[in-house]
Amino acid sequence: MNDQPSDSKVCGATNRLGLKDNILRHIVTTFGSDCERLNKDRLYKGLAYAVRDRLAENWVATRRLYRQEKVKRVYYLSLEFLPGRFLKQNIQATGLEAEVSDVLNELAFTLGRLEKQEAEPGLGNGGLGRLASCFMDSIATLRIPGHGYGIRYDYGLFEQGLEDGNQTERADNWMRFGSMWQFDRPHFFYLVRFGGRVERFVDDSGRLRHTWVQTKKVRAMACDFLVPGFGNHYTTNMRMWAAKATTGFNLKLFNSSDYVGALREKATTENISMVLYPEDETVEGKELRLKQQYFLVSATLQDIMRRHDNECTSLESLPDEVAVHLNETHPAIAVAELMRLLVDERLMEWETAWNICTKVFSYTNHTVLPEALECWPVDLIERVLPRHMEIIYEINRRFLEEVSRRYPGNLKKLERLSLISEGWNRLVRMAHLAIVGSHKVNGVAALHTGILKNHVFPDFYELWPEKFLNVTNGISPRRFLLQANPSLAALITEAIGPAWVRNLEELAKLRDLADDPAFQEKWQAVRQANKERLIQGEGCLCQINASPEALFDIQVKRIHEYKRHVLNILHAVTLYNRIKVHGDIPAAPRVILIGGKAAPGYHMAKLIIKLITAVARVINEDPQVRPHVSVHFLPNFNVAMSERLIRAADLSEQISTAGMEASGTGNMKFALNGALTIGTMDGANIEIREEVGPDNFFAFGLSAEEVARNRSGGYNPRLHYEFNDELKHTLDMIHSGFFSPGQPELFRPITTGMLDRGDWFMVLADYEAYVAKQAEAMALFRDQTARTRRSILNTAGMGKFSSDRAVMEYVRNIWKVNPLK
């Protein structure tokens, strides 16, 4: 299990140097500080560099193995990665915990103090980025030859704050002190081009050729973050691209006193990698997003081709050496870019190039939301990437000819399948481009994949049923149990051994202990201690006065209407009314914790945050209600906060509108750590319920089919309002301004959206069932023995949901790569 690659000894100087000496050496020689005047900042940096040294040696050894074994590699392209803090993860993976603990004890510090010095990398935002990071952890742990590729954002998404209950955004300057984990690779610079025009000419063989000329250029600089496998000395990398100007400073303009103009090109060029998901409500914003996506794709494919040229002899062998995976539609322009490289620059025949292209690419769809199935205006692509638009036209022409042969005279099918959406504003359907250009297309939960086949892309599925398959998402057990919940991990290891860390199916052995009173007592003690640490101010709850005896009811995810934070708040107001109007005191206190970011331009989502905070203020300031129910919005939710919350949760809120959540991974993290789920039959909730058992999952609400039927006609949300007195009272309070004194109309866009505009997300339709299921959850919570048993069974049933299992399904069924021997 711990076989060190044989050639790693060539670079073993760091391993021969003791950890303490290595730390102190870096404090002096790397940072120029006095190692006899230690503080947590200096010690964190010295420790990070000492750990990084060991990773770098393993990285060199791993790359040598790639070359020696001539392995096929997978390249995982994602606009987001969300790794969280690196320090503890890297120490854990390299087996340095005991040594680090001894050294820090000797120096009178703790790892817990030092890790807070590390800013969370602003390389992603939500589930998409966190999934990509879990997959990189599994790729390394399973010794899969592979690399991640993304963008090294200077400021990430944004740092969320609250002002009078409203979300505020400010730059997430996570790089202000640099990153101890980043390797800048200035010798890996690639030119990325935009704009210009296309010249056509006939070559000596009489073939029409194309040249992309008069372009504006940006340099892409590689920044590597190392990803170690758990206990196996294997280390790979996530290569993030930073945009750099080709001419950073115009001395002539500066000397003519145009100081702003002297830096204009640098600013306008380097904004490509400045911020994740820039606002795209303007033409300029849309252009910047498209440039970001092409910047990632162009630099990555140039890097892949460079490596292939160095290690292989034939371009025709590319599919045997390379698998390129598109994580969502963001990198879909890669299909056109690879065709450009092969046809225009390598002078390959179109048919040969297309055969290679479709064997190289695979595509994961993560959503059914229209806004996430990206469509770019044709005129925008023609302006920014003129040659790529020509290639897309040609791909589409040949594809539609194939469709016409299969379905002669079926113009409607041609229209539905076309890569181009016709109309007054012609659009390129990027998901269609990804499907046509890939040999495999997968969804991320059984329900989601079924929806893709039958509702989102039914014509593609009819045309190519063999392309479509499901790979249910998974999470890293190393990150989200071993690291996030060390006390529970230690108890599990004590009970069933350590094999679960690499094989999560081993957790099934806990089922035999679910009724053991002694084990239940230990399990409950760990969970209670986690709650106590949380309310004592660990990480995010320093302002919350709560009892560890309360039911911790947690919903943390990005704010979107389909995730239905509003339903959660309607329940909170219902509990408030029961106490105030009827004196109905809950059987146990309930602490409702909500966190998540709203996109800056998503005004309804920001209004929902305002509603949450407004309801929280009223409830938390009422002395009659506060001892029994409290509501708290946790600003700036991130990976570190999630680790503290998932280990303390009693109830996990997974209440999206059925049919709208592709999979979810938060549901997996909470259940893995013993929280019970209240949720709809949506995404991976269905599979979690199957694995943990229906008695251990509080399922409620409409099914995806029932939601679709309601939307197709006949659904009247006002009937729920008129015939449910509690719901009517709750909505009237919000609508009339009870929670917004002085602004009675503030929350009416929310209430009228449900009552008068169709209740698209079925909040009112599911309210009664949700409230009833919440009462069941509270009744169970009062029975400590029963709830502890169900908590154990939840963890025991989560073996399927490891990212190791998911990655191996990609390896076997899509990528066709072999783990290193």
Q: What's the half-sphere exposure (Cβ side, CA atoms, 13 Å) at 406?
A: 14
Closest CA to 430 of 502, 371, 386, 481: 371
Interacting residues of 821 by C-beta distance below 8 A, sequence separation 6+: 69
Is 236 a catalytic site residue? no
Is 669 a catalytic site residue? yes
Q: Which two tokens stand for residue 248?
A: 């950073």
d(CA 73, CA 39): 42
The region that residue 150 occupies, defined by phi over 0 for left and psi between -120 and 50 for alpha, beta otherwise, is beta
Question: Radius of gyration (Cα) for the chain, nearest Å?
Answer: 27
Question: Which residue among the candidates 440, 479, 558, 789 is catalytic per the annotation?
Answer: 558
d(CA 430, CA 372): 10
326 in Cβ contact with 362 (< 8 Å): yes
Q: Which two tokens stand for residue 269?
A: 């060029």
Q: Which two tokens stand for residue 659?
A: 């049919």
Question: Which residue among the candidates 42, 527, 563, 748 is catalytic per the annotation?
Answer: 563
160 in Cβ contact with 203 (< 8 Å): no
Closest CA to 633 of 662, 597, 668, 588: 597
Question: Which residue among the candidates 143, 366, 610, 748 is catalytic per the annotation?
Answer: 366
Is 558 a catalytic site residue? yes
Kindly state the DSSP code that residue 659 receives in the 8-state scheme: T
The label of the residue with tokens 């490289």 reads 341
Is 366 a catalytic site residue? yes
Q: Please provide the DSSP assignment of 7-33 as one string.
A: GGGGGTHHHHS-HHHHHHHHHHHTT--
- Residue type at 468? F
Stated as kind and residue range, the H or E segment containing 429 is: strand 427-429
Is 531 a catalytic site residue? no
d(CA 751, CA 740): 13
d(CA 353, CA 337): 11
Beta pairing class for 651-654 and 629-634 = unpaired
d(CA 83, CA 640): 10
Q: 10 Å Cβ neighbour count for 618?
A: 18
Beta pairing class for 166-170 and 420-421 = unpaired
Question: Which residue among the candidates 152, 453, 597, 669 is catalytic per the annotation?
Answer: 669
d(CA 502, CA 804): 8
107 in Cβ contact with 43 (< 8 Å): yes
According to the 3-state scheme, what is the secondary structure of 69-98?
Answer: HCCCEEEEECCCCCCCCCHHHHHHHCCCHH
Give strand pairing partners of 167: 162
Handedness of CA 609, 615, 618, 622 (dihedral sign): negative
CA distances, 475 to each of 226, 270, 481, 637 (Å): 19, 33, 10, 18
Question: Which residue among the candidates 358, 574, 613, 665 is catalytic per the annotation?
Answer: 665
Question: Which residue among the candidates 233, 557, 564, 597 is catalytic per the annotation?
Answer: 557
227 in Cβ contact with 140 (< 8 Å): yes
Closest CA to 295 of 319, 276, 313, 309: 276
According to the 3-state scheme, what is the secondary structure of 232-245?
Answer: CCCEEEEEEEEEEE
d(CA 237, CA 359): 24
- The vertex-658 CA angle with 657 and 663, nearest 5°, equals 100
CA distances, 725 to each of 357, 376, 412, 701 (Å): 60, 47, 48, 19
Active site residues: 366, 557-558, 563, 665, 669
